[in-house]
Structure 1
Amino acid sequence: MTPEQYLSRIGLSPSAVGESDIESLQRLLYAHVTAVPFENLAIVGDPHGDTDGSGVVLSTPQLYEKIVTRERGGYCFELNGLFHWLLDSLGYDVDRVAARITGDGGVELPANHHANVVHLDGRYVVDVGMGTPKIRQPIPVNGPALTDDVGVEWRVIEAERPDVTHRVEFRYESHEEWTDRYVFDETPRSLSYFEATNDYLQSAPESTFTGSPSISVGTENGLVYLDAETFVEYVGSEKHEEPVQPERWHDVLTERFGILYPAD
């Protein structure tokens, strides 16, 4: 396991992130969300074949082997879990924090999202594990709202509830109202802290991750998304979708997301 190989996986040279500063952190985050897909194939398996999901194990060496060596993706526990290792290896002061996804009408589960908080001149939420929309830049905690390069505005504000400390919100340029993305508290956690929720989310029938495939990766203009039947491209807040026939599904997965699945 080397930071250099990880950087190569996301298309960066060590010289591009030589300093542990906000500019390098921005390059790392952007490169990651546009190179490494968010995907749950290890849970649901092949929707058009007979390959079952291999499951998700929260072990840093196994995450490294999957994401870096085999050039796969993962969901939040995997992506932010391993990205924490990279940031720590590059000299950043970074904490794993437990979050709860909100705003989808479901039940909030304890620690159903893993995020990272980096300490520089201030504190920044750094998250490479979102589905849609992607967080494409570090977001200052209790700082000003920032608009990313595809027109999504993000902010981290104090939460008005006793069980968490902060709330992550977003809105598109054309919208006036803010939308909750998740809440979190700033208590540093170990990777093992997320094991119970990880086991639940990859096995429970009611989990959003045990149904259809969900694959997405950032692009220069937004992101692309694939489920079992449909390919979607977001350009800013505009959405374009087209059906994908079963015989073309694996080709789209490889061509647009860089995933060969199942691997030869």
Structure 2
Amino acid sequence: MNADAYLVRLGLDPDAFVEPTLSALEQVQRTHVQTVPFETLAVTGDPFDESDDGDGVRLERPHLFEKIVERERGGFCFELNGLFNWLLCELGFDADRIAARVVGDDGAGRPPANHHANVVELDQRYVVDVGMGVPTMRRPLPLDGSIRTDDVGVSWRVVECDRPDETYTTQYRDDSDADWQNRYYFSDTPRELTYFEATCDYLQSAPESPFTGDPVVSRATGDGYVKLRPDSLVRRVGSEETEEPVEAGAWHRVLEREFGVRYRPA
């Protein structure tokens, strides 16, 4: 781990990080989700090149560093939070990897360990997550049920889970009058990165996986998010969402302009 290079990748001054405080944790999480995109091109390959099946996802930490920091790519949760945990520990935070179950459209959380997040111990325990698509968690979230509202007005909380196999539920809502939505279930049992290998292999290969169809590319912004599809760019600012068409010949230019990703098939 070269923590200085990682912080520079996030646009941060390495000399500004003197000790592991909550404010430092908030800053590095917020800048991470606004700089490093959630993207699945390693799984899907180039959407306009039938010969490109993607490089595949590998969870060895040196490989993740080379991909995300040196090549300035993104990744999905096992990659992003997998590497982020290494950075947090290098910066002096007491950070544990934890397994979670992202909730699908049917309300179920399956398969087990389909998401990697982190729990950091400071004045209390916080979920810290830089590995989600939309909606994106932008700041540390305490496990005590208190509500945290981010810079774009999305509120988050952690409540007790009603499932017998998990301890907590992470919830969010876009509006104060809206119902709380379950984002993922989790327990704060520490895990090794190798714990996620089987589910990672499944999610990058199974036809029913949400990641083996069209590529997913998204990034938080200071006032919303941007999300790239094979034929359009979705941009949300506050509560307003717009969608503009993207021609196949312009797709890679948009990918580089909006996400900083220079993708070329292996």
- Residue identity opposite 1:66 in structure 2: K
Measured against aligned partners, the alpha-carbon deviations of 1:141-162 in whole angstroms (never above 9, x if no partner) come to 1141011000000001111221
- Residue identity opposite 2:248 in structure 1: P
User: 2 CA distance for matches of 1:60 and 1:135?
Assistant: 23
- Residue identity opposite 1:70 in structure 2: R
Q: Secondary structure at the match of 1:84?
A: helix
Query: Is 1:15 aligned to residue 31 of structure 2?
Result: no
Tell me which residue corresponds to 1:73: 74
Query: What is the correspondence of 1:104-115 to structure 2 with a 5 Å cutoff?
Result: 104-105=105-106, 108-115=110-117
Query: Is 1:249 aligned to residue 251 of structure 2?
Result: yes
Tell me which residue corresponds to 2:127: 125
- Residue identity opposite 2:258 in structure 1: R
Percent identical pairs in the alignment equals 55
Measured against aligned partners, the alpha-carbon deviations of 1:176-234 in whole angstroms (never above 9, x if no partner) come to 20000000011100000000000000000110000001100111111100011111011
Q: Secondary structure at the match of 1:259?
A: coil
Q: What is the Cα-based RMSD across aligned positions, in Å?
A: 1.3
Unaligned runs of 5+ in 1: none
The CA deviation at 1:15 is 2.8
User: 2 CA distance for matches of 1:103 and 1:250?
Assistant: 30
User: 2 CA distance for matches of 1:59 and 1:239?
Assistant: 37
Q: Secondary structure at the match of 2:209?
A: coil
- Residue identity opposite 1:24 in structure 2: A
User: 2 CA distance for matches of 1:2 and 1:33?
Assistant: 19
Whether the 8 Å CA contact 2:102–2:109 is kept in 1: the answer is no
Whether the 8 Å CA contact 1:101–1:108 is kept in 2: the answer is yes
In terms of mean alpha carbon deviation, does 136-145 or 121-130 score higher? Answer: 136-145
The CA deviation at 1:174 is 5.3
User: 2 CA distance for matches of 1:32 and 1:263?
Assistant: 25
User: 1 CA distance for matches of 2:105 and 2:8?
Assistant: 35
Q: Give the number of aligned pairs.
A: 264
Tell me which residue corresponds to 1:116: 118
Whether the 8 Å CA contact 2:101–2:109 is kept in 1: the answer is no
Whether the 8 Å CA contact 2:169–2:186 is kept in 1: the answer is yes
User: 1 CA distance for matches of 2:104 and 2:199?
Assistant: 19
Tell me which residue corresponds to 2:264: 262
Q: 1:211 aligns with which of 210, 213, 226?
A: 213
Unaligned runs of 5+ in 2: none
Measured against aligned partners, the alpha-carbon deviations of 1:38-79 in whole angstroms (never above 9, x if no partner) come to 000000000112433000011100000000010000000000
Whether the 8 Å CA contact 1:103–1:179 is kept in 2: the answer is no
User: 2 CA distance for matches of 1:71 and 1:186?
Assistant: 30
Q: Secondary structure at the match of 1:111?
A: coil
Query: What is the correspondence of 1:37-76 to structure 2 with a 5 Å cutoff?
Result: 37-49=37-49, 50-76=51-77
Q: Secondary structure at the match of 1:34?
A: helix
| TM-score, with structure 1 as normaliser | 0.97
Q: Secondary structure at the match of 1:28?
A: helix
- Residue identity opposite 1:190 in structure 2: E
Tell me which residue corresponds to 1:82: 83
Tell me which residue corresponds to 2:28: 28
- Residue identity opposite 2:254 in structure 1: V
Q: Secondary structure at the match of 2:43?
A: helix
